[in-house]
Structure formats: structure tokens, C-alpha cells
Amino acid sequence: MLRMKQTVSIPKLHLLLPNRMNPLRYLPINVLAAFAFFLAVFAAAPAMAHPLPISSVDLYYAPGQIEGRVVVHMRDLAPGLGITASAGAPDARQFMARAGEIGALLSRGLRIGGRAPQWREIHGVPSDPDALELDYVIPGAPPPELTIAAGLFPADPAHQTFVNVYEGGTLTRQWLLAAGDAPVTYYAGTVSGMLAAAGTFLASGVHHILIGPDHVLFVIGLILLGGTLRRLAFIVTAFTLGHSVTLSLAALGLFVLPAGIVEPAIALSIVVVGVDNLLRDEGSRDIRPLLAFAFGLIHGFGFAYVLRDFGLPEGHRAVALLSFNLGVEIGQIAIVLLVATLLALLRRRSEAAARLVAQGGSLAVAAAGGYWFVDRVFF
């Protein structure tokens, strides 16, 4: 268990006053020492009486089941059990006699793979007289993808829980979870765990591109003027290359731009694409691939914020990153196929109507980007 060791520094008042004005110079050194001692004791007493509200959950992948232990402080358990905390050290026997209630209390906030632990034993912690340790098991073969919710004391916003996952006796993943934090997901270091991570991040990439209106509008703006299927594929591929570079750099922590720069820049990229569509003369050079790649670099940082919140799984970082990128690409292709097909059908019926839709759509794209830019910069 981690415990905070608080030290108290006694102010050196005699250094702040000129010698003629310093009243402390008239006191014997033993009086000053006694004063300092009592000040230190009284200042440190609250810290010693109230340990940090921290618990820990250890989880071991074992043959045929998950095993683990939870370490909690009795002072954190007391309110939920209706026990009034005493001024001195808590009576461990009083708590251990109510082991069943303690297990039920912790099971409300601890879920491993969606299941409550089966509690085995409760005992004291020799190194921490204020703590109790509870052993548990989760029967059944450990799944390759495991969700862990560890809001042990949700009524205490200051409480935090260390979650440690072990495979083969080696610590492979750690989290520090506070009250109200969402469950975390662990992917086992096996082929099944790798496939589970790939599937999760692939779906996340598709989902993110489809629910991100700014990214969707940027892609639509790129293809409003139409072109051959090969040309449109080249444009979308340029965008993918651009955002893949910065997404990888940011997700791996190698280079990150703050959201205060990235979000307005994404909005500005949408304005540029819409305006370029409106100002381009027939027969002029098509710079959409260049715009797609250049602004794809900016959009990649935006995608990275999702991965940062989601968390790349240790041991499967490359697979997760590649899968997320592939998911984004699949989402983009779905958008392009849908919009390009509708525009192609419209052009077959009426070239003038298609031109009008392209102009009106480009104007709407630029206006939406301008609105987002102003909102993200000033509001």
C-alpha cells in the first residue's frame, strides 16, 4: 500500500526579522526546541490520523480462473458499515467479524468481466495496521478482453484505486482510477487478446469517423466536385496517409499538439476545402489530394484524442493503432461510396443540377467550417 509521509517544516522566523527586532533571540535554545517539537507534533497529527483514501486491486490471470486480492483501509469501510471511526487505531477484529458485509459493500463497485468477485478470505496487513486484505476468485477461463470497474467507494470523490493486472506472475498493466471513472479494458497477451484488441479498435475507428461531423464534412467537401473513381480513391488515400502519420506520432506520445490549436485548425481546413471548390475554374489544377494530405496531418491529431482517452493496450499497441486507422479508412470509404454514387446518379440525370448541388454543398461546407472555427476560437 502506498502511504503518504508528511513532513513539517518549522518556519525560521528569526531569519525574517532584523536582530534588534527579533524577540526569539531572548529565548533559551531549549525553549525554542520544545516549541518546534510541539508544533511539529500538532501539525503532523491530522496527517497521521487520516491516511490517504487509496485502495488497491490486484488481478492475476491463473489457469482456469482469475485470482486476486483487494486491500482497503478500515476507515474507508467504516461509513458503509455504520461504524463510527475512533480517534485511535481501528479494531480489526470488529471489521473482520463482518467479512460478509464488507464483501457485499466492495462488490457494489468492483466488477471484473461484468461479474462480482467470489470472496475467499479476509485478514490483516502486517505492514499497515489500518488495512484489510480480501482474497477473491472469478471462476472460469480468463477472457482475452476483460473490463474492470473499480469504483470501490463512489461516495468519496477523493478516493482512488490502484488496479494491477498480472500475467504469468509479471505485472503487465496498471491504472489509477478515481470515483466516477469509466471501466477500463485489459487485453490478454495472447493471440485471442490481440484479436480482441484489433476488433475493438477497428470498430472504434469506424464509429469515430461516422460520428465526427467535422471529419465527415471534410471528406464530403473533398469529393463534391466529383471525378473518376480512381481520382476519388487517390484523394481519400492522401487524407488517410496524412492523418495516419500524426495519429501514430500523437498516440505513441512522440509529438502532440494541444487541442486549442488542433480543433480550430480542423474547422479551418473545412473552410479551405469549401472555398477551393467554389473558386476553382473548370480545367484548373486539382489540388484536392494536396489539401487532403496536408489537412489530414491536422485531423490525425484530432483522431489521437480519441485513442488517448481510449488508451492503447500494452502489448498490442501496434495492432490497436493499425486497426483504428483501418477502421477510420473503412468509414471514409463508406462515406465516399455513398456520396459519390448519389452525385454520379444526379449527374446522369442533370449536369446542371449536379453542378448546383456541388456549389450549394461547398457553400454549406465552408459555412459550417467557419461556424466551428469561430466557436472553437472564441467560445
- Please report, as a single letter, which amino acid is at residue 354: A
Tens of pLDDT along 90-132? 778 888 889 999 999 999 999 999 999 999 999 998 888 889 9
| Bridge partners (DSSP) listed for residue 175 | 163
Mean pLDDT of 354-369: 94
Torsion of CA 328, 366, 261, 375, to 10 degrees: -110
> What string of DSSP letters covers 146-203?
EEEEE-S-TT-TT-EEEEEEEETTEEEEEEEEETTPPPEEEE-SSHHHHHHHHHHHHH
Are 128 and 236 found together in one domain?
A: no
Any idea what DSSP says for residue 9?
A: P
Distance CA 198, CA 177 (A): 24
> Which residue, of 188, 216, 235, is where some domain finishes?
188
Q: Which residue, among 200, 271, 217, 205, has the nearest Cα to 244 in the 3D structure?
A: 205
Residue 226 has pLDDT above 60, yes or no: yes
Residue 368 has a pLDDT of 95
Domain encompassing residue 104: 54-188
Are 107 and 143 found together in one domain?
A: yes
Note whether residue 372 is domain-resident: yes
Are 236 and 153 found together in one domain?
A: no
Mean pLDDT of 255-275: 93
Number of domains in the chain: 3
Determine which of 262-271, 280-289, 345-354 has the lowest per-residue pLDDT on average: 280-289
Q: Which residue, among 336, 327, 299, 335, has the nearest Cα to 206 in the 3D structure?
A: 327
Note whether residue 103 is domain-resident: yes
Distance CA 55, CA 71 (A): 6
Note whether residue 321 is domain-resident: yes
Q: Which three cell numbers stand for residue 96?
A: 473482520
Residue 145 has a pLDDT of 92
Are 131 and 22 found together in one domain?
A: no
Are 115 and 213 found together in one domain?
A: no
The pLDDT confidence band at residue 87, using thresholds 50, 70 and 90, is low
Any idea what DSSP says for residue 280?
A: P
Note whether residue 243 is domain-resident: yes
Q: Which residue has the cell 477484529?
A: 93
- Please report, as a single letter, which amino acid is at residue 211: I
The pLDDT confidence band at residue 45, using thresholds 50, 70 and 90, is very low
Residue 21, burial from CB neighbour count under 10 angstroms (0-12, 13-18, 19+): exposed
Mean pLDDT of 222-226: 91
Q: Which residue, among 64, 322, 61, has the nearest Cα to 190 in the 3D structure?
A: 61
DSSP SS3 for 178: strand
Any idea what DSSP says for residue 13?
A: G
Note whether residue 7 is domain-resident: no
Work out the percent of the chain whose per-residue pLDDT is above 70.
84
> Which residue, of 152, 168, 188, is where some domain finishes?
188
Q: Which residue, among 239, 195, 193, has the nearest Cα to 215 in the 3D structure?
A: 239
Residue 61 has pLDDT above 80, yes or no: yes
> What string of DSSP letters covers 207-260?
HHHHH-HHHHHHHHHHHTT---HHHHHHHHHHHHHHHHHHHHHHHTTSS---HH
Q: Classify residue 188 as left (phi > 0), alpha (psi -120 to 50) or beta.
A: beta
Residue 4 has pLDDT above 50, yes or no: no
Distance CA 379, CA 369 (A): 15
Are 130 and 209 found together in one domain?
A: no
Q: Say which residue, 369 or 96, is predicted with more confidence.
A: 369
Residue 9 has pLDDT above 60, yes or no: no
Mean pLDDT of 350-354: 91
Residue 274 has pLDDT above 50, yes or no: yes
Are 329 and 212 found together in one domain?
A: yes
Distance CA 305, CA 32 (A): 56
| Bridge partners (DSSP) listed for residue 173 | 165
Note whether residue 8 is domain-resident: no
Distance CA 125, CA 318 (A): 40
Instruction: Find out whether 122 and 96 touch, Cβ atoms under 8 Å.
Output: yes
Residue 48 has pLDDT above 60, yes or no: no
Residue 85 has a pLDDT of 64
Dihedral of alpha carbons 357, 362, 365, 366, sign: negative
Are 42 and 63 found together in one domain?
A: no
Contacts of 122 (CB under 8 A, 6+ apart): 96, 99, 102, 103, 132, 133, 134, 135
Residue 219, burial from CB neighbour count under 10 angstroms (0-12, 13-18, 19+): buried
The pLDDT confidence band at residue 86, using thresholds 50, 70 and 90, is low
Residue 204: CB atoms within 10 A of its CB come to 18
Note whether residue 105 is domain-resident: yes
Are 232 and 369 found together in one domain?
A: yes
Determine which of 50-54, 223-227, 272-276, 287-291 has the lowest per-residue pLDDT on average: 50-54
Q: Say which residue, 98 or 25, is predicted with more confidence.
A: 98
Are 181 and 294 found together in one domain?
A: no
Are 63 and 165 found together in one domain?
A: yes
Q: Which residue, among 1, 239, 316, has the nearest Cα to 133 in the 3D structure?
A: 1
Note whether residue 4 is domain-resident: no
The dihedrals phi and psi of 254, each to the nearest 5 degrees, come to -85, -35
Helix axes 191-211, 213-223, angle to 10 degrees: 70
Determine the length of the chain. 379
Distance CA 223, CA 365 (A): 12
Residue 88 has a pLDDT of 60
Work out the percent of the chain whose per-residue pLDDT is above 90.
44
Are 33 and 162 found together in one domain?
A: no
